[in-house]
């Protein structure tokens, strides 16, 4: 979205001028403001749409789980903020709708099986592919790779414990939403996920 870029550039330019910083510092400020404004816009849109559809809680849970696991495991990045917003919103809303409006039809056994399959698959993918870096921020140091891989696995274990507690109290919607958040993040680090998102990106480029 161009207005996010314009706001970020204007704020970075003003801050660099006030602090009498050079062009390199202005670039750093621009990236910081871009992330800040982008996150705010995405958050406002997500809150508005999820409240309108009555899926605020599962949407929030899914996003928090996805974003927090992404800090350690990395994942696919679109080349523009607009594409990232569109695809991430579509996937989040879709999984939140499923969590909100179908959890009453899931038996406890079905949720437990889904939980086991989701986390077993995710563990295997984390061991195999995490962390997934980006061309602009590559992770090449073996020690760093191992550190982020271990952190990803540990965090996945924490989420599993949390899901087991929630399932014990029959909070099925939350468990399903957490599983979807984990699976969306895991999908973004796999070759299949990258192929799918590249296909979506190409389609959006032609629109």
Determine the pLDDT at residue 70: 92
- The residue among 8 and 50 whose pLDDT is bigger is 50
Determine the pLDDT at residue 136: 59
Strands (DSSP E) found in 27-86 = none
Determine the pLDDT at residue 32: 75
- Is the pLDDT assigned to residue 193 strictly greater than 80? yes
Determine the pLDDT at residue 104: 97
Helix H or strand E encompassing 10:
helix 2-19
Asked if residue 76 lies in contact with residue 134, where contact means CB atoms within 8 angstroms, the answer is no
- The residue among 112 and 136 whose pLDDT is bigger is 112
Instruction: Based on DSSP, count helices (H) and strands (E) in the chain, helices before strands.
Output: 8, 0
Position of tokens 């696919």? Answer: 76
Please, which residues bridge with residue 74 across strands?
Answer: 132
Determine the pLDDT at residue 146: 95
- Residue-wise pLDDT for 12-35, tens only, equals 778 777 888 777 777 777 777 776
Determine the pLDDT at residue 151: 96
- The residue among 121 and 34 whose pLDDT is bigger is 121
- Residue-wise pLDDT for 136-178, tens only, equals 567 778 898 999 999 999 999 999 999 999 999 999 999 999 9
Task: State the pTM of this model.
Answer: 0.88
104 secondary structure, DSSP code: G
Report the candidate in 67, 34, 63 with the shortest Cα–Cα distance to residue 47: 63
- Is the pLDDT assigned to residue 1 strictly greater than 90? no
**Could you tell me the residue ranges of all domains in the chain?**
61-82+107-205
């Amino acid at each position: 979205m161009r207005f996010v870029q314009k706001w970020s550039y204007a704020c970075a330019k003003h801050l660099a001028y006030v602090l009498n910083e050079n062009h390199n510092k202005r670039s750093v400020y621009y990236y910081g403001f871009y992330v800040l404004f982008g996150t705010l816009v995405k958050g406002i849109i997500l809150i508005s749409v999820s409240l309108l559809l009555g899926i605020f809680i599962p949407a929030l849970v899914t996003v928090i789980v996805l974003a927090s696991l992404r800090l350690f495991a990395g994942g696919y990045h679109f080349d523009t903020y607009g594409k990232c917003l569109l695809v991430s919103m579509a996937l989040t809303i879709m999984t939140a709708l499923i969590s909100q409006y179908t959890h009453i039809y899931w038996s406890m056994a079905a949720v437990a099986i889904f939980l086991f399959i989701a986390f077993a698959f995710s563990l295997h993918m984390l061991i195999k592919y995490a962390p997934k870096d980006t061309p602009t921020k590559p992770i090449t140091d073996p020690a760093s790779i191992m550190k982020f891989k271990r952190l990803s696995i540990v965090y996945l274990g924490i989420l599993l414990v949390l899901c087991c507690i929630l399932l014990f109290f029959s909070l099925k919607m939350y468990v399903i939403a957490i599983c979807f958040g984990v699976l969306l993040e895991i999908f973004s680090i796999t070759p299949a996920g990258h192929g799918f998102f590249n296909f979506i990106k190409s389609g959006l480029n032609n629109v």
